[in-house]
Structure 1
Amino acid sequence: MAREVTHEERGPAVLDDEDKGDDGLIYVCRCGLSDSKPLCDGSHRATADEADGVVYKYADDDPDGERREIAGIDYEDE
C-alpha cells in the first residue's frame, strides 16, 4: 500500500523532551496523515485495511476523509 500525502513544510522540526509520550519515547509519523507531523497522533489506524500494491489518496490528507484508490502519484508538478 502507498498513499499520496501533501507536505507543506520546508524545513526540519526540532524535537525535545516535551515531544515524548508517557512511555518516554518519541513516535514519528510514517503514514503522512498525522495532524501533528512529524509526530504520530494515531491517524495510521485509518490505513489498517489498505491493500498491498494499491495507492490511496485521502481527501485533504485527513484520515477521516474520503479514501479513494488512484492510479499512481503524479510527479509532474515537481
Structure 2
Amino acid sequence: MAREVTHEENGPTILDESDTGDDGKIYVCRCGLSDSKPLCDGSHNATADEEDGVVYKYDGDDPDGERRAIDEIVYERE
C-alpha cells in the first residue's frame, strides 16, 4: 500500500525532551496522516485495512476523511 500525502512545510522540526512519551521514546509519524507531525498521534490506525499494491488518498490528508484508491501519485513540477 502507498499513500499520497501533501506536505506544506519547508524546513525541519527540532525535537527535544518535551516530545518524549510516557515511555521515554519519541514516535515519528510515517503514515503522513498525523495532526502533530512529525510526531505520531495514532492516525495510522486508519490505514490498518489498506491493501498491498493499492495507492490511497485520504481527503484533506485526514484519517477521518474519505479514503479512495487512486491510479498513481502525480508529482507537480515547478
TM-score bracket for the superposition, by shorter chain length: over 0.9
**Which blocks of at least 5 consecutive residues in structure 2 are unaligned?**
none
The runs of at least 4 consecutive aligned structure 1 residues that moved more than 3 Å come to none
What's the % identity of the aligned pairs?
Answer: 78
Cα distance in 2 for partners of 1:65, 1:45 equals: 13
> Is residue 34 from structure 1 mapped to residue 34 from structure 2 by the alignment?
yes
Residue 4 (structure 2) aligns with: 4
| Offset of residue 18 of structure 1 | 0.2
**Which blocks of at least 5 consecutive residues in structure 1 are unaligned?**
none
Residue 70 (structure 2) aligns with: 70
Q: How many residues align?
A: 77
| Offset of residue 15 of structure 1 | 0.1
| Offset of residue 42 of structure 1 | 0.2
* TM-score computed with the length of structure 2 as normaliser: 0.97
Considering only aligned residues, what root-mean-square deviation do their CA atoms show, in Å? 0.4
> Is residue 58 from structure 1 mapped to residue 61 from structure 2 by the alignment?
no
Cα distance in 2 for partners of 1:58, 1:71 equals: 14
Cα distance in 1 for partners of 2:45, 2:16 equals: 25
Cα distance in 2 for partners of 1:71, 1:57 equals: 10
